[in-house]
Amino acid sequence: MKADHEVEVAVIGAGQAGLSAAYHLRRAGFANEAGFVVLDHGKRSGGAWQYRWPSLVMEKVHGVYDLPGMSFGTPDPHQPAAEAVSEYFGRYERTYDLPVHRPVDVLSVSSEDDRLIVASATETWAARAVISATGTWDRPFWPYYPGQETFRGRQVHTADYTGVGEFRGKRVVVVGGGASAVQLLLEIAPFAHSTRWVTRRPPVWREEPFSEDWGREVVAKVDQRVREGLPPKSVVSVTDLAVTPEVRAGLDAGILDRHPMFERITPDGVVWADGTFEPADIILWATGFRAAIDHLAPLRLRGPGGGIRMDGTRVVAEPRLHLVGYGPSASTVGANRAGRTAVTEIRRLLGR
C-alpha cells in the first residue's frame, strides 16, 4: 500500500506531550512536513484543556508546567483554564512553526514492512517512527453498578460538565475521589437541594501545596505499573488531595463529608449495603478517564496483564512506537520529559 504522505516521524496529538515531542523533533533537525508531522483531532489548539468546563479558572488548577522553551507566564487567576491554556498552546505552535494538522482523527496505526501506517478516514501517513500522544480525555470512564440502567434521573460525567445550571435545586450524588470531584462538589453544593459525596477509598488530604517534587512522586508510582505491563492508573488516582482554603471551608461546612461507595442504583437514588437510601435527581460520575489508545489496536500490543509493557516511553513489543501522555506522562509534569525522551530514542533508532 502506498501512503498519501511519507514522513520520518508522525506525532498523534497536540496536547502538552505531543507539543513537547514536536519541539524536540524540531531541535533535533527533523524538517517540517518531510521530517515530521503532528496530527491533532481538536478543532483548535489546547489539547484536552480546550474542553474543560468554563468555571475551571486558573486559580483552581494544580499547575500547568511550561512547555520546553517557552514560559506559560502568570495568567489571570480568574481566566478559564480552557482559554488560558489554549492561547498558550496556540502561541507555542506558532512560535516554533510546528506542523500541526487539524482536525485529523487518526483511526489506526498498523505495521507494513519497515513503516508504521497512520490512517485517518481520508489520508494515510507512512512513518519510520510514531509518537502517540493522545492522552485520556476521549475515554471517560463510566463504572457500572447494578440498577444503573433503571435510574430515572440524569447521569453526567465530568467530561460533559458545563456548569451548575442543571444542578440547581437538584439532589446530587457525586462519585469519585479525585480533584475534579472535589472542585465540582464545592461548586455545585451552594445551588443544589442536597449533595452526597461517595468514593471507593477514603480521601487522603495533603496540607502542603502541589509542587514539582510532589508531581515527580506521583509519576513514579504510575511508571512502575506500565513497566510491568499493567494498565496504567491515572496520575490523578494516585495524587493526594490538596487542602486549599476553599477545600478547608468545604470540610468545615460538611460539604466534603465523604461516604463509602453505594452498592446499587434504584430508579430514584442509590442504596448502600446496609439498606441506607439516598434519593437523587442527578448522579455526577467524576470517575476519571482511561488511555485513548484504540487506534493502536491493529498492532496487538496488550500483554497478559492487560496493559502495554513500556520501557520509558518506548513500547517493548514495537520499538518504533512511543507513547507519551500515557501512564506516567499523562500529566503536565511528566509530559515534557516524555517528549524529550521519546525523541532521543527515535534519533538513535533512525541513526540520526
Task: Report in angstroms the alpha-carbon separations of 16 from 45, 67, 71, 136, 340.
Answer: 10, 7, 13, 12, 12
**What is the model's pLDDT at position 53?**
87
- DSSP characters for 78-115? TSBHHHHHHHHHHHHHHHTT--EE-S----EEEEETTE
The DSSP letter of residue 67 is: B
**What is the model's pLDDT at position 194?**
98
Instruction: Return the C-alpha cell found at 229.
Output: 505491563
Q: How many CA atoms lie within 13 A of 293 on its CB side?
A: 26
Give φ, ψ of 82 to 5 degrees.
-60, -40
**What is the model's pLDDT at position 214?**
64
The pLDDT tens digits for 133-184 are: 998 889 999 999 999 999 999 999 999 999 999 999 999 999 999 889 999 9
**What is the model's pLDDT at position 212?**
64
Q: 36-39 and 241-242: which strand pairing?
A: unpaired
Measured CA to CA, the distance from residue 193 to residue 195 in angstroms comes to 7
**What is the model's pLDDT at position 148?**
97
* Residue located via cell numbers 497512520: 118
**What is the model's pLDDT at position 335?**
79
pTM: 0.86
Beta carbons within 8 Å of 202's beta carbon, 6+ residues apart: 258
Give per-residue burial for 187-214: e unless 16+ CB within 10 Å, then b: bbbebbeebbbbbeeebeeeeeebeeeb
**What is the model's pLDDT at position 341?**
93
The pLDDT tens digits for 123-141 are: 999 999 999 999 888 999 9
Work out the burial of residue 116: count CB atoms within 10 Å of its CB; fewer than 13 is exposed, 13-18 middle, 19 or more buried.
Answer: buried
Other beta carbons less than 10 A from residue 169's beta carbon: 10
**pLDDT < 50: residue spans in the chain:** none
